[in-house]
Structure formats: C-alpha cells, structure tokens
C-alpha cells in the first residue's frame, strides 16, 4: 500500500493536552513525526500476538534510536482478553523491567490493545505518557482518539477505565493491508457512524465510495480516516469527558454493547455489533417519529453493503427483549436505571433520548427477524 502524498494531520484541541493525529503511510520513521514523540528514559511497546510478528520489529527498531531501553510485551489477541488479568501482564512487565515515570508506552494494535495500554498508562505510577499506533481501521477512526481507556467487566463493556489522552496518534494505513476483511468491515461501522450523527455529506461520500473502501484504495481510506478523526476531534474538544455532546459518538453502541455482552465478548466483533446496533437505533428513531422510513432503509442498505450484520441476534429464547433491556441498563449513558439512547434527530444530527420499555421491546422484536 503506497501513498503519493505527505501525511495528513488532524489536531485535537484540549489546551495543554492537545495532540496531533497523523494519517498516512510510512509514518514511524518520518522525522517530522518523530520530533513529537515524548522524551523519556525507556519505551515499552504493548502489542498482541497477531500484530507482533507483522509490525513490532519495525517500531522497536525505530524506538531504539530514541530511548536508552526499549521493551516489548505481547498480549493475547481478542475482545475476550480485555480483562484485569490481561491488564496485569502490562503492569507485570513494567515492574519487572523497573520502568520509572519517564517510561513511554506505545500501543501497537487495535482497540483492545489501545484501550488497555491507555488504562495502564493512566494508572502506572499515577500516570505515564503513551502513544497510540492503531493498526485496525476501527481503532484508527475511533478508539485511539479521544482518551477513553479501560477494560470490560462480565456485566458490561468498558465499565472500568479512565479518561487519559495520548501524546500522539499515528494512523499508518499500511497496517490495513494485512487486516482481515471481517475486521475491515468492523471498522467501516465506525466510519459510517459519523455521517448520520454529524455530516450528511460525508454519509453520501461513503455511499459513493464504499466499494473503494472495501478494496482498500489508499486515497479513499486516507480521506475516510482523516474525516472521521476530524469529526471525533471536534466533538471531543467540546466535551472531553462525555458529559454532553460526546455521547452522540455512541450511536448504535447501546444496542451493540448489549449484543457483545449477551453473546459473550469476541463472538461478534465490536464493529459488527455497532453496525447492527445502528440499525436498531435508527429503527428506534423511526418509532419515535424522529426520522423517516426511507432514511432507515438507506442506512440499513449501506451497513449491509459494508459487510455488517443488520439482523440482531437472539440473546434469550424465553425473554429476548428483557435480556437486551437488562444489559442496556448497565450502559454508561443510563441514569438511575433509565436507558438513554443515541437516536437520529433529522438528517446529520443526533441526540440522547429515553423511550418506553414497550417501544424498545417492539424495536428489538422487529430487529431480530
């Protein structure tokens, strides 16, 4: 995967914690980018068993010219390993190597690696710097940006964590060349999400370019990643800790997280659950009178064309809707057990909305057939 243009830069404005997001190819040894990497006594690269043989040596080689000591810790791969036990592997490595407060962590991998590395960085010695080097489309357009870190709990996804911003995000598109097709589709769910909630023109662009995205055309992917990061950076700069507008970034996630937890983490990829969750949230928007049937059909068609599921799974054969509701009441947007959904309020706009359980049950029943 080759690029004929220089890296693209997106800045996330958070005052003295602002940082750049770089999008392009061959980023790791680019002098302009290396100048922004945090200084320190040591570096620790955290990756997983899938990414390690593909890209770890290149990053380690580059970092050995910048730090006196460079360490590597390799985690098992998969959402089911986003746990306390796996997180402790990072702390074990940091303590075994006698890493101090000037150690810089590098998250080389997808969303699971990025979330856990960020949480470890936020926690180790009460905070050390870290850099995101996302290697999946989903992590490049979403999870690596904005400072959400954490792990899963059996009762809820990402329920234990911290807001902790990276110093730098490096979205090297060449890593997408080795991404399995299913993982690419999962990332497209998060790209598609930005259209309905914030930029209707971008939604139209995705529809016109979905085939090129699936074929991994580098120019098309560059625009998709850059525009997604621009939208997320704009939202996060207004509401870093999700007390207001940032919640719209969770379009499809309330239903999606219930699917992940209900089926068991790792059975559906996060992006697959979000894709299906967006269809369910759009169906709820229609039921609430906030969007029309043609728009629901438009979103459903695009999500399906991206290779994502649009029919929701059965989580409980006796009371399926009841199981969804039980899981969604643990959602971070819920208040006093009342579920707040991100719904589409007209085209290119989203809002938080509650809904009667009976209406949600109806939507779930319609979504599972």
Quick check: 148 and 163 in contact, CB under 8 A? yes
Quickly count: other Cβ atoms within 10 Å of residue 338's Cβ.
Answer: 11
Q: SS3 string of 37-106? A: CCCCCEEEEEEECCCHHHHHHHHHHHHCCCCCEEEEEEECCCHHHCCHHHHHHHHHHHHHCCCCCCEEEE
CA distance 229 to 231: 5
Quick check: 124 and 96 in contact, CB under 8 A? no
CA distance 237 to 240: 6
Quick check: 271 and 185 in contact, CB under 8 A? yes
Please give the structure tokens belonging to residue 130. Answer: 């870290």
Q: Which residues are catalytic?
A: 126, 148, 190, 232, 242, 246, 250, 253, 257, 270
Computed on alpha carbons and rounded to an integer, the radius of gyration of the chain in Å comes to 20
CA distance 30 to 360: 50
CA dihedral angle for residue 144, residue 148, residue 151, residue 155, rounded to 10 degrees: -130
């Amino acid at each position: 995967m080759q690029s004929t243009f220089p890296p693209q830069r997106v800045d996330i404005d958070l005052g003295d914690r602002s940082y750049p997001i770089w999008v392009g190819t061959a980023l790791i040894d680019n002098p302009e980018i290396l100048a922004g990497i945090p200084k320190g006594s040591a570096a620790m690269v955290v990756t997983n068993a899938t990414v390690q043989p593909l890209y770890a040596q290149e990053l380690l080689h580059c970092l050995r010219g910048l730090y006196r000591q460079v360490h590597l810790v390799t985690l098992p791969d998969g959402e089911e390993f986003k746990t306390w036990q796996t997180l402790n592997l990072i702390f074990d490595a940091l303590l075994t190597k006698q890493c101090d407060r000037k150690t810089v962590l590098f998250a080389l991998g997808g969303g699971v690696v990025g979330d856990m590395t960020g949480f470890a960085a936020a926690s180790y010695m009460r905070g050390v710097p870290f850099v995101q080097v996302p290697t999946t489309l989903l992590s490049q357009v979403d999870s690596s940006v904005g400072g959400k870190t954490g792990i899963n709990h059996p009762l809820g996804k990402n329920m234990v964590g911290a807001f902790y911003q990276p110093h730098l995000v490096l979205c090297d598109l060449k890593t997408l060349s080795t991404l399995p097709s299913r993982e690419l589709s999962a990332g497209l769910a998060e790209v598609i999400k930005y259209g309905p909630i914030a930029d209707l023109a971008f939604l139209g662009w995705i529809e016109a370019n979905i085939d090129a995205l699936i074929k991994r055309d580098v120019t098309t992917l560059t625009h998709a990643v850059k525009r997604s990061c621009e939208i997320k950076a704009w939202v996060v700069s207004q509401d870093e800790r999700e007390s207001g507008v940032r919640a719209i970034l969770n379009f499809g996630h309330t239903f999606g997280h219930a699917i992940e937890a209900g089926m068991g983490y790792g059975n559906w990829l996060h992006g697959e659950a979000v894709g299906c969750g967006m269809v369910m949230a759009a169906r709820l928007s229609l039921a609430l009178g906030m969007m029309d049937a043609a728009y629901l059909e438009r979103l459903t068609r695009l999500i399906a064309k991206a290779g994502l599921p649009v029919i929701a799974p059965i989580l409980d054969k006796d009371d399926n809707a009841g199981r969804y509701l039980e899981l969604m009441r643990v959602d971070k947007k819920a208040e006093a057990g009342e579920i707040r959904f991100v719904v589409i309020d007209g085209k290119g706009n989203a809002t938080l909305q509650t809904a009667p359980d009976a209406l949600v049950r109806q939507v779930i029943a319609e979504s599972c057939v």
